[in-house]
Amino acid sequence: MLRPASIRVVPAVPTLRRAAAPTLEHMTTTLITGANRSLGLETARRLIDAGHTVYAGMRDPATGDDARELGAHVVRLDVGDEQSVASAIAELPALDVLVNNAGVLGTSYGVDDLDADAITAVLDTNVVGVVRVTQAALPLLRRSENPVIVNVASGVGWPRWLTDPSHDEFPVKAVPYAASKAALVALTVQYAKNLPQMRVNASDPGYTATDFNGHSGHQTITEGTDATVALAQLGADGPTGEFHNRDGRIDF
């Protein structure tokens, strides 16, 4: 999230039914894009603590020391480069959970600084990049007993909240970022319809203190990963095609 309209008291995240705990016979293998810092790094930490074998994707593995210290396997993965994506997927021995976390804010914050190049760059990472990674990962996910995809979206892509002064998202005027996250929610729904054997959902981190907003968010980085981490641990009977924040399901 970018900046607030108001400060809200956030209740504890609801409990979703999780998959069975990983065992030595079958460790859950998870790939997280953009996992060298911020929400991606915290998601890696929490899923490693939950017993997942985590592959931390990032454009520059030299920035991956924090992920390595957690016990993650660092892989070079640039979601904007199809060959980089293919090479990263080829390094995985298996894949049960894909967390499409990588994203960019962009350089346009209104309409006076907006042009086609500015919105194309954001869409290429935040939407097309998700398609590149997901399509490359599908063969491995289809071999999993409990395949899960989590797309990290944002309430900034939710028109109802962009137009509601009581929501944190209301003051945001950036066109590319909002458009990309709205597209990502729709993309999630369509993937879920096409892949009924998988759990495919989108998460909203909420207004979390990250580099995106100069660490001005009122949620901690751990609170900002609550929905993503919960969705990444869904069992085969869990929801699919839904949008969740740490409060639970967001009604379409």
Chain segment 49-105, per-residue pLDDT in tens:
999 999 999 999 999 999 999 999 999 999 999 999 999 999 999 999 999 999 999
Residue 15 inside a domain? The answer is no
| pLDDT in the model for residue 25 | 46
In 3D, which of 146, 145, 168, 142 has the Cα closest to residue 155? 168
Active site members = 177
Q: What distance in Å separates the CA atoms of residue 57 and residue 35, rounded to the nearest whole number?
A: 6
Residue 3 domain-assigned?
Answer: no
Residue 39 in any domain: the answer is yes
Flag whether the pTM goes above 0.85: yes
In a domain, 19, yes or no: no
Is residue 191 included in any domain, yes or no?
Answer: yes
Which residue, among 235, 236, 234, 212, has the nearest Cα to 224 in the 3D structure? 212
List the domain range (segments joined by +) for residue 148. 29-249
Residue entry with tokens 């911020």? 38
Interior/surface letters 23-62, b for 16+ CB within 10 angstroms, e for the rest: eeeeebbbbbbbbbbbbbbbbbbbbbebebbbbbbbbebe
Three-state secondary structure string covering 121-152:
HHHHHHHHHHHHHHHHHHHHHCCCCCCEEEEE
Residue 154 inside a domain? The answer is: yes
For residue 192 the two structure tokens come to: 């879920």
Is 6 a domain residue?
no
Residue 116, CB-side half-sphere exposure with 13 Å CA sphere = 0
Q: Is residue 84 one of the residues assigned to a domain?
A: yes
Q: For every one of its 252 residues, what pLDDT tens digit does the chain have, with 9 covering 90 and above?
A: 554 333 333 344 455 656 655 544 468 999 999 999 999 999 999 999 999 999 999 999 999 999 999 999 999 999 999 999 999 999 999 999 999 999 999 999 999 999 999 999 999 999 999 999 999 999 999 999 999 999 999 988 888 888 888 887 778 899 999 999 999 999 999 999 999 999 999 999 976 656 665 665 557 889 999 999 999 999 999 999 999 999 999 998
CA distance 197 to 175: 34
Q: What is the CATH number of the domain that holds 191?
A: 3.40.50.720
Q: Where are the beta strands (DSSP E) in the chain?
A: 29-32, 53-58, 73-76, 97-100, 148-152, 199-203, 243-245, 248-249
In angstroms, the Cα distances linking 54 to 60, 95, 154 are 17, 10, 23
Split into its structural domains, the chain has a count of 1
